[in-house]
Structure 1
Amino acid sequence: MDVINQYKELGVYFQNMDYVDVKTIENDVDLRTFISRMLSYYPWWIILLYRVREIMVSVLGLVRHEKPEDLPSIKPEDLSFKPGENASFFIVCKAKEDEYWIAESPEDKHLAAFIGVVAEKINQGRTRYHVFTSVKYLHWTGPVYFNLIRPFHHIVVRSMMKAGAQKSPVA
């Protein structure tokens, strides 16, 4: 958290949140490549989890978001760093080339969720990435929904990070 706290402008993504999680991984790919590989990771089991989520959305009466026709594969050069633009199904909030990238999930009535990646250069060509998730509950369904998905959240984020750190592109 010390590295993230160096960026005072990121404090808003941690203040008054109901849930915050930070995971780290080291690798030798640049920030754009790391994030684009993370956001392009769709193994069969993650697709299955999204289908299960659809059932929970119906049961809890949550906002249904339009599903893309194709799962996006984002090239590093196409990853947006401009606030308000889309990056996969996230919306970019704040970004600084080679330093950090923060995005939010589409607007919902039950919670607001943010994902961020902060790069910490540790030596020649090597970077430690601090990947955070922060969540603010907006409705009683927020903690119900999030506590149901929380165990899977940890597995999904860790797997996405490993995909982002791979030396060769994700297939």
Structure 2
Amino acid sequence: MSKSAAILNSIPQLQKICSNADHIYSVGFDSRRDMEDFLIRLMSYKPGWLTFLYKVRGVLAGIMGLKHDEFMNHGLEVSDYDFSRGGQVDFFNSIDFEANKFWIGEATDKHLSGYIGVVSEPAETGLNYYHVFTIVHYKHWTGPVYFNLIRPFSHLVVYFMGKYAAE
């Protein structure tokens, strides 16, 4: 079992979400930032290239009859992000949070449920080690079709979000 898998399985809420998941991806980052700062930077990362990819995603979503949230214009300011359970972070609903330990957000549509989150672990060097993960559950036949089209981009996006957050 990989270190990331062991970390995800060590948190009961994540273990439940991971069971029967269709896709799990995790990448880790060392950072001097505290968890709140890391989370805010992670979820507010919106460079031009990502905005472009999201517009392309909107075309694909429209063709497949899927909901397409506004990436840049969802009406929520970064200062309004609420990581606590029931809060809203960008277009994700916060489903669980334990300060300085983990945060889990969920976005659902008719085709899949997608989860993003972070697990914090102190590193031996005095830094924090952040496991950034995505978990996907397909709900409809369009789920695997859609997700397999965006999967390579999803992994790149999560990597660059985490890299930016850790800096």
TM-score (normalizing by structure 1): 0.88
Paired AA for residue 145 in structure 1:
Y
Partner of 1:111: 112
Paired AA for residue 140 in structure 2:
H
Is the 1:40–1:72 Cα contact (8 Å) retained in structure 2?
Answer: no
Whole-Å separation in 1 of the counterparts to 2:68 and 2:51? 16
Partner of 1:52: 56
Identity rate, percent: 39
Whole-Å separation in 2 of the counterparts to 1:72 and 1:62? 21
Partner of 2:98: 96
Whole-Å separation in 1 of the counterparts to 2:55 and 2:74? 15
How many aligned residue pairs are there?
Answer: 163
Is the 1:38–1:160 Cα contact (8 Å) retained in structure 2?
Answer: yes
1:23–1:108 Cα change, 3 Å: same
Whole-Å separation in 1 of the counterparts to 2:76 and 2:81? 11
Q: Secondary structure at the match of 1:123?
A: coil
Partner of 2:47: 43
Partner of 1:123: 124
Whole-Å separation in 1 of the counterparts to 2:94 and 2:9? 20
Is the 1:81–1:97 Cα contact (8 Å) retained in structure 2?
Answer: no
User: 1:1-171 alignment to 2 at 5 Å?
Assistant: 1-66=5-70, 68-69=72-73, 74-75=78-79, 79-105=81-107, 107-123=108-124, 125-166=126-167
Partner of 1:169: none
User: What CA deviation, in whole Å up to 9, does each residue of 1:65-104 have, x standing for no partner?
Assistant: 35553786625xx542321210111110100000000001
Q: Secondary structure at the match of 1:94?
A: strand
1:68–1:46 Cα change, 3 Å: closer
Which contiguous aligned blocks of 4+ residues in structure 1 show a shift greater than 3 angstroms?
70-73
Paired AA for residue 34 in structure 2:
D
Structure 2, unaligned runs of 5 or more: none
Structure 1, unaligned runs of 5 or more: 167-171
TM-score (normalizing by structure 2): 0.90
Paired AA for residue 68 in structure 2:
R
Whole-Å separation in 1 of the counterparts to 2:58 and 2:36? 30
Is the 2:81–2:87 Cα contact (8 Å) retained in structure 1?
Answer: no
